Amino acid sequence: MTATHGEPFDGEGMAGRLVLVIDATVPAAVHQASATLAARLADEAGLPVTVATAPVDRLDALRDSLGRDADVRRREYAPTPRADASQPMSSAPFLWRRDGRPDWGSMWTTFCELALYGGPPQRGPESPLRAPTNPADSGREMLAEMQRGIWETTGLYAESIEPGWLAVTCESPTMAAWMCAAIILENVDARVDEERLVLPAGPDYQLKDEVKSIITVVAKTHHYWQAHVTGAAERG
């Protein structure tokens, strides 16, 4: 990223503007993270921020040019070491209401990074949550608990659409598609049906295992959609 200093930005030239230049070939998640960073930086600095993509050979040439320029000072930042992404996230403590039912709405106060952004997945690669094969039903009590947990943590309505599957109605097809892609990276099966996010709901799912995982991934991705994705779009 390069920053220029001078008079406040007046719509011409580079004075008072910040520029973030990234490799055009980096993954889509990096492009999204760069856009989020640019929006936050613009708010914090009070300056417009330009995000540009360029071929890597152009970036190499730019770096060499800056390195040879005696008037240029630069500083590089390494990423903070993260937990092994192959290891699942640690489990939040299970909380209960006075009536003996899980207190889903109070079970999380903070969220780990999504696997989409390099955080630990909800489930490890050795224990992925897959859709059941030819289920006769989904189990009424389990379904009711999943529906209640999703509602308490997100305010989204969920319903059984067919044996083995639970559909969560999102605000738009875009929201459903984004949450679906993020959830798949958490090692949990998901698919999209227009504005509905469709998740597995097997008849033998256990409350503290599969049921909790489904509610957690929906809560995590919904939180990130509201706080980071739509928030960045509104700021932009």
Beta-bridge mates of residue 158: 168
The DSSP symbol for 7 reads S
Q: How far is CA 111 from CA 25, 92, 117, 215, 220, in A?
A: 29, 10, 13, 13, 6
Within-domain flag for 45: yes
pLDDT of amino acid 78: 60
Domain with 159 in it:
104-235
Residues 10 and 125 in one domain: no
Please give the Cα distance from 200 to 129 (Å, whole number).
8
Please give the Cα distance from 135 to 127 (Å, whole number).
19
Give, in degrees to the nearest 5, the angle at Cα 63 between 58 and 66: 125
Look at the chain and report how many structural domains it folds into.
2
Within-domain flag for 116: yes
Please give the Cα distance from 236 to 67 (Å, whole number).
32
Residues 59 and 152 in one domain: no
Residues 123 and 216 in one domain: yes
Upper half-sphere CA count for residue 144 (Cβ side, 13 Å): 5
Residues 44 and 124 in one domain: no
Instruction: Give the domain CATH number at 209.
Output: 3.90.1150.10
Residues 113 and 217 in one domain: yes
Within-domain flag for 74: no
Burial code (b: 16+ CB inside 10 Å, e: under 16) for 153-165 equals: bbebebebeeebb
Structural contact between residues 198 and 158, judged by C-beta atoms closer than 8 angstroms: no
Structural contact between residues 16 and 7, judged by C-beta atoms closer than 8 angstroms: yes
Residues 123 and 207 in one domain: yes
The tens-digit pLDDT sequence of the chain (236 residues) is: 444 443 444 445 556 678 888 888 877 767 777 777 778 777 777 888 888 888 888 878 888 887 788 887 777 766 655 545 455 555 567 788 888 887 887 776 556 678 888 888 888 888 889 887 777 766 788 889 999 999 999 999 999 988 889 999 999 999 999 999 999 999 999 999 999 999 999 888 899 899 999 999 999 999 999 876 765 555 45
pLDDT of amino acid 3: 42
Please give the Cα distance from 123 to 128 (Å, whole number).
6
Residues 59 and 109 in one domain: no
Within-domain flag for 73: no
Residues 121 and 228 in one domain: yes
Q: Which residues contact 71 (CB under 8 A, 6 or more apart)?
A: none
- For the chain, give me the number of helices (H) and strands (E)? 6, 7
pLDDT of amino acid 130: 87
Structural contact between residues 201 and 165, judged by C-beta atoms closer than 8 angstroms: yes
Please give the Cα distance from 168 to 148 (Å, whole number).
12
Within-domain flag for 151: yes
